[in-house]
Amino acid sequence: MSAREASQDAPWTATVLTLFPEMFPGPLGLSLAGKALHQGLWALRVLDIRDFARDKHRSVDDTPLGGGAGMVMRPDVVDAALGAAEAEGRGPLIYLSPRGRLLDQALARELAAGPGVILLCGRYEGVDERVLEAHGVAEVSIGDYVLSGGEPAALVLIDAVVRLLPGVMGNEVSPAEESFARGLLEHPHYTRPAEWQGRTVPGVLTSGHHERIRRWRLEQAERITQERRPDLWARYRREQDDSEG
């Protein structure tokens, strides 16, 4: 067996189960994530759920028991697809759903530290509950709104994780140095010219005083977080208090 074939050696791998395999890699094939994909810093496996349908019409959904609108993804078909994905290993099984744990930077970091993720994308009204139970599927939501399917949520989750993988950000600032890593929103950014349409850049940024610049940016990040996100501000204050003993 070559070194690459040993599972310990495989890159962080996203396995996506979907009825719309053409949606992948989509935007993840371009820019930062796309370059890293081509470099082998992560891998993408896409499984078409319809390939696991057994009847001649290849049906993947059925009407909801108890009545009501829409369709539900069949447990037997999803079970076969999940079984195939799990046989290959590479990380926890996650169903993208508004009922799930909210995706945040802490969860992105946890997932980046593991071997990968297996992402189940639902369409219609979702998936038969029993197949989620049977496979011990965790649920993750990307936010409190309703998408027409799990695929855009899977793209978001993969993007947030991939940029944290070693080597992906290259020479840019390490993600650990970013404002958000400290629990703050970003300070304002400026580039040339120093005056544009009568608007000037804060003088400190052209002063060359690195310590004053660092302090100004921290003050701005704190002000913006306090103004816009009281929830993040409260957590930041708590964590400051805790680390100061």
Total of chain residues touching ligand 4GX, rule CB under 6 A:
15
Taking CA atoms, 221 is separated from 10, 105, 213, 234, in Å, by 38, 17, 12, 14
Which residues 17-56 are close enough to bind ligand 4GX by CB under 6 A? none
Residue of the chain from 27, 34, 98, 202 that contacts ligand 4GX (CB under 6 A): 98
By beta carbon distance, the residue nearest ligand 4GX is: 126
CB of 100 to ligand 4GX, least distance (A): 6
Instruction: Point out which residues pair with 94 in neighbouring strands.
Output: 119, 138
Confirm if 118 and 86 have CB atoms less than 8 A apart: yes
The answer to the question of residue 96 lying near ligand 4GX (CB under 6 A) is: yes
Residue 77 CA, chain-centre distance (Å), reads: 26
Name residue, tokens 């993007």.
159
Is the Cβ of residue 6 or residue 146 nearer to ligand 4GX in the bound state?
146
CB 56 within 8 A of CB 47: no
- Does the protein bind ligand 4GX through residue 176 (CB under 6 A)? no
Query: Two tokens at 200?
Result: 């000037």
- Nearest residue (CB) to ligand 4GX, 19 versus 184: 19
Residue whose CB is less far from ligand 4GX, 96 or 168:
96
Residues in region 111-170 near ligand 4GX by CB under 6 A: 122, 125-126, 141-143, 145-147, 149-150, 153
* 100 vs 175, beta carbon nearer ligand 4GX: 100
Cβ atoms < 10 Å from Cβ of 16: 27
Q: Report the amino acid identity of residue 33.
A: A
Closer residue to ligand 4GX, CB minimum distance, 116 or 150: 150
Choose between 50 and 223: whose C-beta lies nearer to ligand 4GX: 50
71 binds ligand 4GX (CB under 6 A): no
Cα separations in angstroms, 134 against 4, 93, 121, 129, 191: 32, 12, 17, 9, 54
Q: E strands within 7-92?
A: 12-18, 42-48, 61-62, 72-73
List interacting residues with ligand 4GX (CB under 6 A): 96-98, 122, 125-126, 141-143, 145-147, 149-150, 153
